[in-house]
Amino acid sequence: MKRQLPKVHDLAPLMKFKKPELDRKKHRLASALTIEDLRRIAKRRTPKAAFDYTDGSAEAELSIERARQAFRDIEFHPAILRDVSKVTTGRQVLGAPVSLPFGIAPTGFTRMMQTEGEIAGAHAAAKAGIPFSLSTMGTASIEDVKAANPHGRNWFQLYMWKDRDRSMQLVSRAAAAGYDALLVTVDVPVAGARLRDKRNGMTIPPALTLRTVLDAAPRPQWWIDFLTTEPLAFASLDRWSGTVAELLDSMFDPTVTFEDLAWIKSQWPGKLVVKGIQRVEDARAVTDLGADGIVLSNHGGRQLDRAPVPFHLLPEVVKEVGADTEVLLDTGIMSGADIVAAVALGARFTLVGRAYLYGLMAGGEAGVNRAIEILAEQVERTMRLLGVTALDELTPQHVTQLVRLVPRPRPAGRPST
């Protein structure tokens, strides 16, 4: 083989040195190409108790693993030779437009994960044109979130407390602030057994113990932010100095019934969505009660371990109630491809919780922007590769749910209600 020394004019086109990025946060976030990448960054930067509260679920954590596996166990069926030069990722959801087929799910204790908390999420949602959901257990007030997202869509998530008057005061505040949907969560009669939190001795707010001080050593920025900003407290309720499970069990009402749900609906002027549906029969019951939407969800695996996988339930529930109400879905979503698969099988919209929090822990508001950007890019790319240009073109013909766990036949008869 004949060889020769390269000439300068041959080398010049190959020399494309990038200007170094001196902003460490920008460099860190730009290097994240997936939500899992953000998760790894978040784990490095967040104390163990706070990270595990976000990352963990109940008991053996089978529910969340099964939910994520269900999305991995899909097969796409792309159509070829379609013009996909222009793709639209928006649609109407609960009576108003969204720019993407996902929104930010309600999450509690958010400033514990990263001090910018819900305000960062609300700003990012406003920028992306997607809804932001504020939890009853949020660490920013209803009014402050509205101020952070004044022209966008804000949803309020309600846990019914034993003190009904205080619960409905929150509902009234959300209505007065212009929130357009109320997400009534119905799968927390009592707290799930979140064993990571118990093993970490996790309290709200985090306590300074020998363990937490040692854990802080490699993560000084988190503790600097935590100790030099406003003390962690719940904007919608009194301060608390115990474990999460103790808080939930002391406050939440295990006697709530369908009659109570009807009463809540009568008090709310906007769209009412019931979050935590895990059976077809319950989807039909709340739809008949007049719910504008339902969220198929097992609370991110944080309540009943071995609960049904929402993504598995989706086709059957859509068949039962999809013509009568909007079906939303959460739990296990870690990519834009997961979102596209859910939409193809009939979900009107999806909610992301952990994916948003991984971004928040990785880089505050900039990290949330990056999480949304990653998911949006994946949604659009997956649609193009499937040969569709709009969400309404996605159908069950684009997705097959591959079988891994096959249930034994159940005894005849309908489950009790």
b/e burial code for range 228-254 (CB count within 10 A of at least 16 → b): eeeebebbbbeebeebbbebbeebbee
Per DSSP, helices labelled H in 57-194 are 62-72, 110-113, 117-128, 142-148, 164-176
Backbone phi, psi, residue 254, to 5°: -80, 5
Extract the tokens encoding 129.
């044109």
Please tell me the distance from the alpha carbon of residue 47 to that of residue 214, in angstroms, as a whole number.
10
What are residue 182's DSSP bridge partners? 156, 272
Task: For residues 67 and 307, give the distance between their C-alpha atoms in angstroms, rounded to a whole number.
Answer: 10
Q: Count CA atoms closer than 13 A to 156's CA, side-chain side.
A: 30
Q: Write down the residue that tokens 């909007």 correspond to.
A: 326
Calpha distance 381→389 (Å, rounded): 10
The yes-or-no answer on residue 299 being catalytic is yes
Provide the residue count of the chain: 417
Choice among 123, 151, 299, 312 that is catalytic: 299
318 vs 394: CA distance, rounded Å: 14
Token pair in block for residue 350: 């999806």
- Cis? peptide before 47, omega within 30° of 0: no
Which residues lie closer than 8 Å to 60 by C-beta, 6 or more apart? 305
Residue 4: strand, helix, or coil? coil
- For residue 363, give the H/E element and its range: helix 354-386
The DSSP bridge pattern shows strands 154-158 and 181-185 to be: parallel
**Phi then psi dihedrals of residue 71, to 5 deg:** -70, -35
Enumerate the active-site residues. Answer: 299
